[in-house]
């Protein structure tokens, strides 16, 4: 077994374990929080007049569902994610739709897509977790029709996203077991370097690669902040194993770290991302 396969197993374990179940539990909140990004991708599909769309790393299906609604009877959208609990929820949500999308539980890096079957591939925060990103984008390029469009959104750097790292920075002195973030490794900020992103896509067979800053104002009800900081991210993955007294101390310290983002009844921050576009 090579290193890439081991890393894939790590991601499968994470997203079928605590992290995947946390996203299912907080689906409503996360859908509202990230709705502006959903809108960006729906409009990108509409502008391209795409009819067969693949949503990579679709999670619980919000973006896939929104694209399917926009396409209506004139197209199809397929959502793919390696998290079984998230795909299960996505399928349940699709049952309520008049023109439902389809969902597959699988790894976009290795999934055997039918060749040249999509005229657009999109992703909202779903492409930063590949063990071998060049292989993944090569696989996606094979699944794309000639001239098909790619539109994906990924996070920029940790430094530009202090909200996203506030919890682990505050908790680190109390939880040495928190997993460190390493530049370039699969994870939230793996695509922080735009030059690396361009090199990955070009090596994967994509052309006309554009990596443009996308800054989006995000809002979360203050009443949902405790759930957000205790369930999600690296802190959420380890906090469940901490004893009650230590957990209370960590949550108190982390809550203080989020105060700069609290404005009355709402939590506000700017999400610093890339809009990544390319052509097959």
- Per-residue pLDDT tens digits for 115-143: 999 999 999 999 999 999 999 999 999 99
pLDDT, tens digit, 9 for 90 and up, residues 90-100 = 999 999 998 89
Q: What are the residues whose beta carbons fall under 8 Å from the beta carbon of 108, sequence distance 6 or more?
A: 56, 57, 80, 126, 127, 130, 136, 139, 140
- Nearest-angstrom CA–CA distance, 108 and 24: 20
- Nearest-angstrom CA–CA distance, 19 and 119: 31
Quote the pLDDT of residue 243.
85
Q: Show the tokens assigned to 280.
A: 């097959």
Question: Who wins on pLDDT, 85 or 241?
Answer: 85
Torsion of the alpha carbons at 40, 46, 48 and 49, rounded to the nearest 10? 160
Domains of the chain: residue spans and CATH: 3-159+179-217+272-279 (3.40.50.150)
Quote the pLDDT of residue 7.
54
pTM, entire model: 0.93
Find the length of the chain.
280
Q: Show the tokens assigned to 68.
A: 């399917």
Q: Show the tokens assigned to 277.
A: 């576009």
Under 8 Å between Cβ of 171 and 253: yes
CA 90 to chain centre: 15
């Amino acid at each position: 077994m090579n290193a890439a396969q081991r890393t894939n197993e790590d991601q499968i374990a994470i997203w079928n374990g605590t992290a995947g179940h946390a996203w299912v539990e907080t689906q409503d909140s996360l859908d509202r929080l990230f709705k502006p990004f959903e809108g960006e991708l729906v409009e990108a599909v509409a502008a391209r007049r795409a009819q067969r769309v693949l949503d990579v790393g679709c999670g619980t299906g919000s973006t896939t569902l929104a694209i399917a609604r926009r396409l209506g009877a004139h197209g199809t959208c397929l959502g793919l994610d390696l998290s079984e609990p998230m795909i299960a929820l996505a399928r349940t949500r699709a049952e309520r739709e008049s023109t439902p999308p389809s969902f597959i539980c699988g790894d976009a890096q290795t999934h055997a897509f039918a060749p040249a079957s999509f005229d657009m591939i999109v992703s909202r925060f779903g492409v930063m977790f590949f063990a071998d990103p060049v292989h993944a984008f090569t696989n996606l390029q094979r699944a794309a029709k000639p001239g098909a469009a790619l539109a994906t959104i990924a996070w920029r750097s940790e430094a530009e996203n202090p909200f996203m790292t506030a919890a682990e920075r505050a908790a680190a002195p109390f939880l040495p077991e928190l997993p460190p973030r390493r530049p370039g490794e699969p994870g939230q900020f793996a695509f922080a370097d735009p030059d690396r992103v361009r090199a990955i896509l070009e090596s994967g067979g994509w052309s006309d690669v554009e990596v443009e800053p996308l800054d989006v104002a995000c809002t979360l009800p203050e009443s949902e902040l405790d759930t957000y900081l205790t369930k999600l991210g690296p802190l959420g993955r380890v906090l469940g194993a901490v004893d009650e007294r230590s957990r209370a101390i960590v949550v108190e310290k982390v809550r203080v770290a989020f105060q700069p983002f609290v404005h009355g009844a709402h939590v506000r921050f700017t999400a610093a991302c890339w809009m990544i576009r390319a052509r097959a």
